[in-house]
Amino acid sequence: MKLSFRWYGKEDKVTLQQIRQIPGMYSIVTAVYDVPVGEVWSRESIVKLKTMVEASGLHFEVIESVPVHEDIKLGKPSRDRYIENYCENIRRLSEAGVKCICYNFMPVFDWTRTQLDHKLPDGSTTLVYYQEQVDKVNPLSGDSDLTLPGWDASYTRDELKNVVAEYQAMTEEKLWDNLKYFLERVIPVAAECDVNMAIHEDDPCWSIFGLPRIITNEQNLDKFLTLVDDKHNGITLCTGSLGCSNQNDVAKMAAKYAKMGRIHFVHMRNVAVLDNGFEERAHLSSCGSLDMYEIMKALYDNGFDGYIRPDHGRMIWGETGRAGYGLYDRALGATYLNGLWEAIEKMSGKKISSSDER
């Protein structure tokens, strides 16, 4: 596995130098953030980012995300222009040495939580999702102020209502068709550039506000992989997104898709599954509902050699900053993942490479 860490660019409170000091760290996961969704990233900004990352002694190999314009997901006539731009971004990123691109196909709302600073008994704060709070927010009602954390703030209230209404009239089948249309045009370019595309599962992995969500479970991931049957059409296995539903056996999915060579990126995060939703927890297995050892072992045993990053961390030790993306708890997560991997590797009898060889 290649250990990686998400970094939000120069504005991030967490610095590249701090990330570099996390043992075993290999690659930064980042993006060009100042270009509107759907437009082409300038070569200059890509190279600037690459230069900064490499100057700190880390690799620039994973992008999260190149976002997919809503017109592509909605299947509008303008999608062809946005798909061409998307392909151009793949070409430009590959010229800069990028090997893996994470993206999602969630209508309008990316990850959804109801609170970003819920206090856990140990005094740390975390992101949570309680269904009764989601049910109170109706995006189409006149007086709704539409504020759940994590939502795209670039929409005005009316724009958001309009786009939500468009999706509410859309079936899952239509969303699948639009995804297939996108993949059929984008994956050949990714294959030519040898860039692995890695779709992120819907988070949480169920429909919200009646909007279709399709990247949610094993059956649908199977279907996704056959839409374009090419190794460059792969997934980001996000343990927290899949694992917030008891219906998903994440270790089984890790084993199956790693064996197929279709997992290019892993987000490792633990969640406590509750009757009314879930809470994000520390990475350690005993802190949540997921068996992190079992998932790592499934990846190892099935030859996974892609990128892996500790996903959201809690806020601990008084740290403030971007919810889920502070330094301390994610660094603890990285160290825990290193420990699991080393133990699994040693138990398998394989020689361990020193970090100088990386």
Mark whether 325 is an active-site residue: yes
* Helices of type H across the chain: 16-20, 43-55, 70-74, 79-95, 131-135, 157-168, 172-193, 218-227, 239-243, 250-259, 292-301, 328-347
Q: Does 65 bind ligand DNO (CB under 6 A)?
A: yes
Q: Show the tokens assigned to 196.
A: 């692995």
Given the residues 205, 267, 283, 300, the one annotated as active site: 267
CB of 164 to ligand DNO, least distance (A): 18
The CA distance from 238 to 221, in Å, is 12
Given the residues 59, 200, 264, 283, the one annotated as active site: 200
Which residue, 79 or 312, has its beta carbon nearer to ligand DNO?
312
Which residue, 86 or 103, has its beta carbon nearer to ligand DNO?
103
Q: Per CB under 6 A, which of residues 267..306 are in contact with ligand DNO?
A: 267
Q: Tell me the residue type at 149.
A: P
CB of 180 to ligand DNO, least distance (A): 19
Mark whether 283 is an active-site residue: no
CB of 211 to ligand DNO, least distance (A): 15
Mark whether 69 is an active-site residue: no
Q: Does 30 bind ligand DNO (CB under 6 A)?
A: no
How many Cα atoms are found within 13 Å in the side-chain-facing hemisphere of 57? 13
CB of 2 to ligand DNO, least distance (A): 18
Site string for ligand DNO, 92-131 (x = CB under 6 A): ----------xxx-----xx--------------------
The CA distance from 148 to 125, in Å, is 17
Q: Show the tokens assigned to 69.
A: 């314009």
The CA distance from 34 to 56, in Å, is 22
Site string for ligand DNO, 308-327 (x = CB under 6 A): ----x-----------x---
Distances (CA, A) of 26 to 131, 228, 283: 37, 30, 20
Element (H, E) at 4: strand 2-6
Q: Show the tokens assigned to 45.
A: 């900004």
Mark whether 267 is an active-site residue: yes
Mark whether 177 is an active-site residue: no
Given the residues 325, 328, 329, 336, the one annotated as active site: 325
Q: Compute how many other C-beta atoms are within 10 angstroms of the C-beta atom of residue 339.
A: 12
Instruction: Report the interface residues with ligand DNO, using CB under 6 A.
Output: 64-65, 102-104, 110-111, 200, 267, 312, 324
Active site residues: 200, 238, 267, 311-312, 325
